[in-house]
Amino acid sequence: DAGVIQSPRHEVTEMGQEVTLRCKPISGHDYLFWYRQTMMRGLELLIYFNNNVPIDDSGMPEDRFSAKMPNASFSTLKIQPSEPRDSAVYFCASSRQSTGENEQFFGPGTRLTVL
């Protein structure tokens, strides 16, 4: 089975540009999580969804960040406008809680560099 798929793997953009990160969770999983990882702040949960509905977005840093999950097999994290301090590795993870399983499976991440 394919794991969590993220695209692009690397993104370099200039300050002020819009950035869209994409995630395809594992089929059948009902939770999807977006994380950000930096050396300074470690691993931060930005937002998570259950059955395509956002449950907790308290980790989203500011209004420049938005996330959507239009269906069970796709989610996006958008930054508009991007700033250099947004440079980080962004991870998507999914899990299947409905059957009692509780392991989160992580994608390979998107390394974002904002110049």
Partner 1 sequence: GDSVTQMEGPVTLSEEAFLTINCTYTATGYPSLFWYVQYPGEGLQLLLKATKADDKGSNKGFEATYRKETTSFHLEKGSVQVSDSAVYFCALRKGAGGTSYGKLTFGQGTILTVHP
Residues 42 and 22: beta-carbon distance below 8 Å: no
- For the chain, first and last CA: distance in Å? 36
Site for partner 1 in 44-73 (CB under 8 A): 45, 48, 50, 55-56
In DSSP notation, 84-111 reads: GGG-EEEEEEEE--TTS--PPEE---EE
DSSP secondary structure code for residue 25 in this structure: P
According to the binding rule CB under 8 A, does residue 74 interact with partner 1?
no
Half-sphere exposure of residue 91: CA atoms within 13 angstroms, side-chain side: 16
According to the binding rule CB under 8 A, does residue 99 interact with partner 1?
no
Closest approach, Cβ 28 to partner 1, in A, equals 15
Residue number with CB closer to partner 1 (16 or 28): 28
According to the binding rule CB under 8 A, does residue 102 interact with partner 1?
yes
Residues written for the chain: 115
Q: Of these, 34, 67, 88, 104, which contacts partner 1 (CB under 8 A)?
A: 104
Residue number with CB closer to partner 1 (10 or 85): 10
Among 15-23, 63-71, 78-86, 99-107, the segment contacting partner 1 (CB under 8 A): 99-107
